[in-house]
Structure 1
Amino acid sequence: MKKYIYILSMCTAAMFATSCVGDLDQYPHEEITSESVYTSLQNYKSVLGKIYVSMVTKGQEKDGNEDLSSNRGEDYMRCYFNLQEVGTDEVAYTWLSGENLTDISNLSWDANDPWVADMYYRIYYNIALCNEFLRNATDEKISSFTESERNEIVHYRAEARFMRALFYYHAMDLFRNIPFVTENDPVGSYIPPRYMAKDMFGYIESELKAIENDLLSKDECPYGRASKGAAYTLLAKLYLNAQTYIGETRYNECVAACQSAIGQGYSLEIDVNNDYTIDCYRRLFNADNHLRTNEIIFTLPVDANTTVSWGSSTYMVCGAVSQTSATQNPADYGVTKGWGSMRICKTVTDLFEDNDKRGKFYETGQTDKVTSIEDASTGYLSTKWTNLKDNGEAASNTDQSGVNTDYPLFRLADVYLMYAEATARGGNGDMATAVGYVNDLRERAFGDNSQNITETDLTGNNFRFFLDERARELYWECTRRTDLIRFDLFTKAEYLWEFKGGASDGTSVESKYNYYPIPSAELTANPNLKNEEY
């Protein structure tokens, strides 16, 4: 049984957040008031729990009482995965028309796309939850609590600020110039200003730095909550992509943030006896991955009894197993049946050497190249995510309850690769250390040092290595779109994959598709917003 923390135990806490954007119909209206909720330490825990769990569930029940009444109504992480992965070379999506994902896959969306709208409103709903929590967690509001309770709430407050920074980071990365609201702004009819990406970048950076001392360290932080390591990792992501967001490089800062994250004491998941025949990489994405706190820096707990949804990691596991294959056995991945939603493009699978254990693909009966979006037998199937425990048993009945696999949002492997890339691009890191970090990952992948790289492989502007290595290590972990944009390859003809732009062999698209548009309904509701190129 997983050691599920309190943050999941009371996720039916009051949801009293008022809209912070124009479309009020996207938000719940509850009679419960903050005065009746913020009366005990346990209630503060419960509301903090709601902020966390809102990333992996649709609402308060398995198939009802949803947080938002919107186009699809899916959970945050299913929306995020679709916007980060479906339009890239890492995913060929089978049921485009049925899921309304055609425009996402083809890089042809507009301001009326339902998935774009759902992601936008999910982000701002979660920001509203954070703002309401913070309005009620000021020093004045908690002055009547005992000293130990106040100290605990200070940690909660820092975590709520981290989560808000994370949501704003996602909003900036996806939409660029966005509405901005905090706990200090009025609720109700308030129309928030538009923050340009440069302003948003500065805000996120300052927030993450401001909360550093109030977040718990790796060893102090309960499972599933945000620690100092999570804040350092998010800072590193912000800095690595600074050229995209603000037109400036911040590689020195990225190196420093990575060093701070690594300094928390994380380590790669490897066998303690250095037995490389054990597939430690697979353990990071199975139903016992809550045991991998050595490598997983920030995770989103998922449990088939308490946090059931048909998105998040259930989407990752069931969506990758075929509905039509005559040979693939769903039980081999801990599921009762597959959904047949997703395959992976040949441009990515070709990046893997035969003995790279990270390349987890089902090939029998499948062509290597995606020659048809509708034909699920074209393109390999990814088997990276499973609902199996370490002993090989299924962790839950996915047909009824979804999976038991947690969603690892930040991993040490990503930090290693960010450090190495930032150093190679001119940051003041140590190249020998950078090479060592990359080789640590490759030795786990290959079982020996036969595929180790040297410093020469990372110098001379050979940055493409990092794009490819990140695909090998992090595919289907919601990094690909951001990575392709950082390398200026997401929309251009210099790099094509199957059905990029809707063409069978791929084609370039307009540069405006490097970000998503603010939904049309928001443009109507908030005159401060606009989409320059849409």
Structure 2
Amino acid sequence: MNQKFTRTLGMLALAAGLTTMASSCTKDLDQVPDYSANAEVVYRDPIQIKQVLARLYATFAVSGQRGPAGAPDISGIDEGFSNYLRTYWQLQEITTDEAILGWNDGNLPSVNTLQWNADNEFVRACYDRIYYQVALCNEFIRQTSDAKLSERGIGGTEATTVRTYRAEARLLRALSYWHAIDLFGGGPFATEEASIGTTPPYKTRAELFAFVESELKALDTTEGLLAPRGEYARADKAVAWTLLTKLYLNAQVYTGTNRATDAITYANKVLAAGYTLTPDYTFLFLADNDKTAARNEIIFPIAFDGLSTQGYGGMTFLVHAPVGRAIPPASIGINGGWGGLRTKPALTRLFPGGATGTTDKRQTLFFTKGQNPNVDTLGAFSSGVLVTKYKNVTSTGKGGKDSNEQGGSGDFPDTDFPMFRLADVQLMYAEAVLRGGAGGSQAQALALVNAVRARSGAAALASIALPDILDERARELFWEAHRRTDLIRFGKFTTGNNWAFKGGVKEGRDVEPTRVLFPIPNTDRVVNPNLPQNPGY
């Protein structure tokens, strides 16, 4: 896609009533776009419309308009740190007992220690990313209405195809609004119906929940999403069902109402959609996870390619940042490690024998050589067990496209990030049953949990209770950006469950209950007087 076009498209989207990014793109507003940047031209061509849709998907993976750096989508923070997946992953993982990021950049240490405030640039970057994506999706949805298609002479099968693209954009927007609900509670709200240039109103958490629920149910029943597993990495009906399952499983937190029965309803849809567990757990996190049996388990990946999605966030971050000291970079398919990410004893203690046990194959992803198993120092890379979960190496041991082995830079991985996968849905089903949901069975719940365990060689459980589900989710899904949400749902995030450096002390301490939400960044409240602040900030 033409670089000028994508930059101008971003400006069109930002004009849709969302002001969070305005300061980062001021100079673009002074440019005169060339002919190719005209929306009336682009949206008359279904081929170019598909290219714009591809940009909506790519927003999760890339950080700017050029790659790997130099033309960022947002400003106020290093471009690599501003990547959507990277910002989201950090808020979901380094705030918990699963990960720690020892760098001293800016206010990053306060994210590790749950001491952030409304001026924290890492919190702000995630917020800004979410609403930047919402704005892009709004513009795409606005430009692909039936009225617009008719006006531009797009009909027949071409119109049907574009309606599928539009449905996908709505689903991607719902995903980002769910991230807003989960991380920030309420927030600014705009759809394709918003008048250009207006200041968006504030919607409460319950109101955003109702919107996302209605969007997802409409997409399931009346709109043109692809059938499950229709095309790898496309947002299809199974993605909508999985997101509904997550929405309903967390509804007690979001709205105060138990929706476990609804969670079971949509989990059952996913379970019947033909996905299968990958026989080898490690295949899910390798450079060819889009080609091996892993693709049969992955419901929705954030797709990466070492040649075409280059950047310093996303999987580049997740592959490089845990590597250093005794880990040979070549074994990970990269040219060198960044020495930042480690895990905490709270995670390794959940496995038989801790980090060095052999009963559960998931333990093989812990690296202990030369490492202090405890996190005694926040900034010391030697302090804490290392994790080699994500690699830029294929299932046959070959380096990815950009690896040194293939004549590349060794910087950028091919590994896709499995945002949603079957094992997660199986564990959600079991949890919803244990939370009293109707439409499922205890026997099926136990069988699904044991199937996940059996894949990694863990012994079968004779019975399950809710604490077993939380522990199994940690063992199965660690470092996959679920942990903060899980701990909050189980009442284990702020009090009564401490880990290293929680609250800023080595042994960990309880923190304020208001930490279950991040603050609305002050930068957005300054320009949007409709936005209140979350309690405690």
The alignment's TM-score, normalised by the length of structure 2, stands at: 0.91
Equivalent position to 1:467, from 466, 470, 479: 470
For 1:445 and 1:337, the matched residues in 2 are separated by 29
For 1:334 and 1:397, the matched residues in 2 are separated by 6
Equivalent position to 1:443, from 417, 438, 454: 454
Q: 1:390 matched to which residue of 2?
A: 395
The Cα offsets for residues 98-124 of structure 1, whole Å up to 9 and x where unpaired, read as 253111111111110001111111111
CA drift at 1:328: 2.1
CA drift at 1:400: 5.1
Pair 1:13–1:530, CA change in 2 (3 A): closer
Residues 11, 46 of structure 1: 8 Å contact kept: no
SS at match of 2:290: helix
Alignment of 1:328-407 (within 5 A): 328-353=327-352, 354=357, 355-359=359-363, 360-395=365-400, 396-397=402-403, 399=409, 401-407=411-417
Alignment of 1:114-193 (within 5 A): 114-143=121-150, 144-188=153-197, 190-193=198-201
For 2:381 and 2:281, the matched residues in 1 are separated by 26
Residues 72, 115 of structure 1: 8 Å contact kept: no
Q: 2:14 matched to which residue of 1?
A: 18
Residue 86 (str. 1) matches residue 82 (str. 2): no
For 1:14 and 1:510, the matched residues in 2 are separated by 41
Q: 1:218 matched to which residue of 2?
A: 228
Residues 316, 411 of structure 2: 8 Å contact kept: no
For 2:229 and 2:202, the matched residues in 1 are separated by 39
Q: 1:495 matched to which residue of 2?
A: 497
For 1:504 and 1:401, the matched residues in 2 are separated by 34
Q: 2:116 matched to which residue of 1?
A: 109
Q: 2:84 matched to which residue of 1?
A: 76
Q: Tell me the amino acid that sits aligned with residue 452 of structure 2.
A: L
SS at match of 1:299: strand
For 2:385 and 2:410, the matched residues in 1 are separated by 27
CA drift at 1:146: 3.1
The Cα offsets for residues 209-258 of structure 1, whole Å up to 9 and x where unpaired, read as 111241111242x2221011100000000001001100111000000110
CA drift at 1:13: 8.5
For 1:316 and 1:352, the matched residues in 2 are separated by 22
CA drift at 1:26: 3.7
Q: Tell me the amino acid that sits aligned with residue 228 of structure 1.
A: K
Residue 414 (str. 1) matches residue 424 (str. 2): yes
CA drift at 1:259: 0.5
Residues 94, 375 of structure 1: 8 Å contact kept: yes
The Cα offsets for residues 351-370 of structure 1, whole Å up to 9 and x where unpaired, read as 01221111210111112111
For 1:13 and 1:435, the matched residues in 2 are separated by 52
Q: Tell me the amino acid that sits aligned with residue 95 of structure 2.
A: G
Q: How much identity, in percent, do the aligned residues show?
A: 40
Residues 361, 380 of structure 1: 8 Å contact kept: yes
Alignment of 1:173-252 (within 5 A): 173-188=182-197, 190-212=198-220, 213-220=223-230, 222-252=231-261
Q: Tell me the amino acid that sits aligned with residue 334 of structure 1.
A: G
Equivalent position to 1:515, from 513, 517, 526: 517
For 2:296 and 2:425, the matched residues in 1 are separated by 13
For 2:14 and 2:378, the matched residues in 1 are separated by 41
For 2:18 and 2:536, the matched residues in 1 are separated by 22
Q: Tell me the amino acid that sits aligned with residue 340 of structure 1.
A: G
For 1:363 and 1:400, the matched residues in 2 are separated by 24
Q: 1:66 matched to which residue of 2?
A: 72
| Structure 1 stretch displaced more, 34-43 or 160-169 | 34-43
For 2:503 and 2:485, the matched residues in 1 are separated by 17
Equivalent position to 1:313, from 309, 312, 315: 315
The Cα offsets for residues 425-458 of structure 1, whole Å up to 9 and x where unpaired, read as 1111111111111011110111xxx61012xx32
Residues 13, 46 of structure 1: 8 Å contact kept: no
Structure with greater helix share of residues:
2
CA drift at 1:70: 2.6
Q: Tell me the amino acid that sits aligned with residue 478 of structure 1.
A: A
Residues 11, 49 of structure 1: 8 Å contact kept: no
For 1:46 and 1:14, the matched residues in 2 are separated by 12
SS at match of 1:404: coil
Q: 1:452 matched to which residue of 2?
A: 460
| Ranges in structure 2 where 5+ consecutive residues have no aligned partner | none
The Cα offsets for residues 396-430 of structure 1, whole Å up to 9 and x where unpaired, read as 33755411111111000000000000001111111
Q: 2:283 matched to which residue of 1?
A: 283
SS at match of 2:206: helix
Pair 1:219–1:78, CA change in 2 (3 A): closer
Query: How many residues align structurally?
Result: 504
Q: Tell me the amino acid that sits aligned with residue 255 of structure 1.
A: I
SS at match of 2:277: coil
Equivalent position to 1:35, from 36, 40, 46: 40
For 1:137 and 1:126, the matched residues in 2 are separated by 17
| Structure 1 stretch displaced more, 339-348 or 28-37 | 28-37
For 1:22 and 1:297, the matched residues in 2 are separated by 33
Q: 1:275 matched to which residue of 2?
A: none
Pair 1:162–1:394, CA change in 2 (3 A): same
CA drift at 1:293: 2.1
Q: 1:268 matched to which residue of 2?
A: 277
Q: CA RMSD in A?
A: 1.8
Residues 313, 403 of structure 1: 8 Å contact kept: yes
For 2:43 and 2:410, the matched residues in 1 are separated by 35
CA drift at 1:11: 7.2
Residues 21, 522 of structure 1: 8 Å contact kept: no
Q: Tell me the amino acid that sits aligned with residue 357 of structure 1.
A: K
Q: Tell me the amino acid that sits aligned with residue 444 of structure 1.
A: R
Q: 1:273 matched to which residue of 2?
A: none
For 1:295 and 1:11, the matched residues in 2 are separated by 33
For 2:8 and 2:54, the matched residues in 1 are separated by 8
The alignment's TM-score, normalised by the length of structure 1, stands at: 0.91
Residues 180, 195 of structure 1: 8 Å contact kept: yes
